[in-house]
Amino acid sequence: MNRQEQERPGDPSKAVESMYEYGYRKSNYGPDELVTDAHGNPISVVDAMMKADQASRVKTSTPHLCYYSPRIPGNTGSAIRLCAVTGTILHLIEPLGFNLKDTKLRRAGLDYHDMAHVVLHPDFDDLVRSMPDSRIIAFTAHAEKLYTEVDYRPDDILLFGPEPGDIPDPMDIMAGPHVAEQVRLPMRPSLRSLNLTNCASIAIYEAWRQLGFQGGR
């Protein structure tokens, strides 16, 4: 078989290869939607998400994860995948710094089942009202206590503030009366902080380890 025959237009493998560049789906292929159903049809992002009252009733094996006003879509896309593979529920507090249909979110390889682990809240008070029995543990560089010094519970909420930028960190949120603990990840002095979802991954896996990796294999 010559090269021309190998790359004929009807070759399914070549058709798939042409849709991707550097592992990412090209923007000119497929519908401009974040999630699809089992048949590949676009569905509403909101329809795919968990409702706040549902999240409060779900029995989890890991603490909940909360991003307060995240700004970078790639970080949130990675967090959605993190939560899908660990069985964690991700709470996103508006305002967000991006549209949930952003291309960088789609590039994280998200699908309907991943989004089923996500709750969108209009403000922080809505999270507090919907999870009244949960401890909120804030991860902040201002804390003295290390994240490993906490005995985590499945109904805890691990709170992370927005990525560093022009907007000041919301210390009324990260150090407010609703926060039970403030903790930090150790880092070498005078260096920039870790990526947001790298920090969240470390925290979730430490909590899951303490809880015996229930539900995992």
> How confident is the model at residue 48, as a pLDDT?
84
Of the ranges 18-32, 53-67, 101-115, 179-193, which one carries the lowest mean pLDDT score? 18-32
Q: 201: helix, coil or strand?
A: helix
Q: Which residues are annotated as a binding site for S-adenosyl-L-methionine?
A: 161, 185, 193
pTM above 0.85? no
Mean pLDDT of 174-192: 89
Are the CB atoms for 155 and 134 separated by under 8 Å? yes
Which residue has better confidence, 98 or 3? 98
Mean pLDDT over the full length of the chain: 83
Domain range annotation of the chain: 1-30, 36-210
Residues at the binding site are 161, 185, 193
Q: Which two tokens stand for residue 37?
A: 């159903």
* Euclidean distance between CA atoms 172 and 176, whole angstroms: 5
| Per-residue model confidence (pLDDT) at position 125 | 95
Q: Which whole-number Å values give the CA distances from 149 to 78, 80, 86, 144, in the listed order?
A: 26, 26, 21, 11
* More confident position, 139 or 35: 139
In the chain, the percentage of residues whose pLDDT exceeds 70 is 78
Q: Using one digit for the tens of pLDDT, what is the confidence trace for 40-80?
A: 777 777 788 999 999 999 999 999 999 999 988 889 999 99
Distance of CA 204 to the CA centre of its chain: 11
CATH number of the 36-210 domain: 3.40.1280.10
Whether 35 shows a pLDDT value over 70: the answer reads no
Give residue 45's pLDDT: 77
More confident residue, 94 or 29: 94
Neighbours of 181 (CB within 10 A): 17
6 to 9, 10, 15, 18, 26: CA distances (angstroms): 9, 10, 12, 14, 22
